[in-house]
A and B are shown apart, each in its own frame.
Chain A
Amino acid sequence: MSRKVHITIQAGKISEQTVEIAKDATYEDLLNTLNINQETVLVLNGGNAVPLDGAVNSDKLTILKVVTGG
C-alpha cells in the first residue's frame, strides 16, 4: 500500500510536489525517496519540527532546507 503526501520545499525559493510513499514510511524514508540528505533539512508538520525516525502521519508537510552556502 502506498499513499500520497503533498510537500512544500522551502529553499530560499519555494517549490511544491506530491510524492508517493509506503503506508508505514518514516520521514527519513520520505527524504530518501526525494533524494534529500537528512542532515540538510528540517521537516515541519503544521509548522512544528518532527523527529525523522517517526512515521509520517500527515498528508501535508514542509521541508525547510537549512544548509546552504554563505
Chain B
Amino acid sequence: MTIKCKKCNHEAIVFQKYSGMHLCKRHFVEDVERKIKLTIRKEYSIQKNDVIAVAVSGGKDSSVALYVIHKILGNRPDIKIVAISVDEGIDGYRPESIELAKNLTEMLGVQHIIKSFKEVHGVTMDELAAMDREKGACSYCGVLRKNILNKAALEIGATKLVTGHNLDDEAQTILLNHFRGDMERMVRLAPPAAVEGLVLRAKPLKNIPEKEVALYALVNSLPVDFSECPYAGEAIRGEIRELLNDFEAKHPGTKYSLLRGFDKLVGALAKEMPPAKIEKCRVCGETCTEDICQACKLLGRA
C-alpha cells in the first residue's frame, strides 16, 4: 500500500514530520522552491542588475543552491549569475567534486570561475593538514575559502554571494554559539548590512532541512557528490549534529524553532552590541574586523 500526496492523488515520496504532510515528487519540488523564494524575498531582496555569485563545491547543498537560483532568476536579462569554486587541494576528494560542479554549470550554461588555495594562498589543504597546527583542519579551510570567495566575488563585481548553508547547518551553528556563549558570532550569523569590501552573503537554503536538499538533488538528477571530506568536521559540530538530529526525530520542528527563535533574538542583540569596526588588514588589505585578517593570522603572515 502506498501513501498519497496531501495535495494531489499521486504517490508520496516524502513525509515531512514537522509539517505533517506527505508530498509527491511534484509537490515536494514546489514546496522546496516556495520556501527558497520566500527566504530570498524576505531576507535578500533581489535588485535590478544584481550580479549573483554562487559558491559551488559539487556537493549537494551548493549545487541545489545554484540550480534553484538559476531556475528562479536565470531568465532575468538584468541579472547575472556566476559560479565560483574553490579547490582547497584535498587529494582524492575535491578534484572529483569540482568535476561534478563543472558538469552542473555546463548543463545550466552558467559562467564558472575556479580558484585554488595553492594559487591564492600558496599552500594546499593537504599541506596545511600535515603541519603542526593549533586548530582543526576545518578552521583553516573555512577561513581561507571565505577569503578567496569574497575576493573572487569582488573581482567580478558581485552584489551577492550565495552559499548552500541549509537548515541543519544554521541550527547547528546557532546551538554551537549558544553552548559557547558566543553572542558576537550570533550577531554575525544574521544577514549583515552591506559593507564596502565585503560581498553580501545570502543563504537561500537556510529554511530547507538537509535531507530535503539531498532529496531535491536526487529527484532533479543533479550531478552531485555525496562523499565525505577526509578531514570532515570539527568534532564538536558532529556532536551537535547528532544531538540535534536525535531531538528532531523525537520532537519534529526543533530545527525550525531554533532558527525562528534566533531571528527574533538577533535584532535585539544587535542593538545591545557595538557594531563591529570595519578595518583593512594591514598585511593584505582585505576588509575585516581586526587589524590583521583571519587568513593572514592563520597563515602566520603577520
Q: Write the residues of chain A forming the contact surface with B, with a CB cutoff of 8 angstroms.
A: 10-12, 37-42, 48-55, 57, 64-70
Docked pose: A39 CA to B227 CA in angstroms: 17
Contact B218 A49 (CB under 8 A): yes
Contact A67 B168 (CB under 8 A): yes
Which residue of B has the minimal Cβ distance to A12?
Answer: B227
Docked pose: A41 CA to B214 CA in angstroms: 9
Q: How far is the CB of A25 from chain B (nearest CB, A)?
A: 14
Contact B241 A67 (CB under 8 A): yes
Contact A49 B245 (CB under 8 A): no
Contact B249 A49 (CB under 8 A): no
Which residue of B has the minimal Cβ distance to A10?
Answer: B226
Q: How far is the CB of B14 from chain A (nearest CB, A)?
A: 6
Which of chain B's residues have a CB closer than 8 A to the CB of A66? 60, 210-211, 214-215, 226
Size bracket, chain B contacts: 35 or more
Docked pose: A48 CA to B12 CA in angstroms: 10
| Given pairs A12-B226, A50-B13, 6 additional interface contacts (CB within 8 A) | A11-B226, A53-B15, A68-B226, A68-B228, A70-B59, A70-B232
Label chain B's interface by main secondary structure: mixed
Contact B218 A42 (CB under 8 A): yes
Contact B226 A69 (CB under 8 A): no
Q: Which 9 A-B pairs have the closest CB atoms?
A: A69-B232, A69-B233, A70-B229, A66-B214, A51-B15, A39-B245, A68-B228, A12-B227, A49-B13
Which of chain B's residues have a CB closer than 8 A to the CB of A67? 168, 210-211, 214, 241, 245
Contact A51 B210 (CB under 8 A): no
Determine if B3 is an interface residue (Cβ-Cβ < 8 Å). yes
Determine if B195 is an interface residue (Cβ-Cβ < 8 Å). no
> What is the 8 Å Cβ interface bit string for chain B, positions 199-220, against chain A (1 contact, 0 not)?
0000000000111001100110
Contact B245 A40 (CB under 8 A): yes
Docked pose: A51 CA to B59 CA in angstroms: 24
Q: How far is the CB of A30 from chain B (nearest CB, A)?
A: 14
A55/B1 contact (C-beta < 8 A), A37-B246, A42-B211, A49-B215 known: yes
Which of chain B's residues have a CB closer than 8 A to the CB of A37? 242, 245-246, 249
Q: How far is the CB of A44 from chain B (nearest CB, A)?
A: 8
Contact A68 B232 (CB under 8 A): yes
Determine if B2 is an interface residue (Cβ-Cβ < 8 Å). yes
Docked pose: A50 CA to B11 CA in angstroms: 9
Docked pose: A54 CA to B3 CA in angstroms: 7
Determine if B237 is an interface residue (Cβ-Cβ < 8 Å). yes
Determine if B279 is an interface residue (Cβ-Cβ < 8 Å). no
Docked pose: A69 CA to B60 CA in angstroms: 12
Determine if B291 is an interface residue (Cβ-Cβ < 8 Å). no
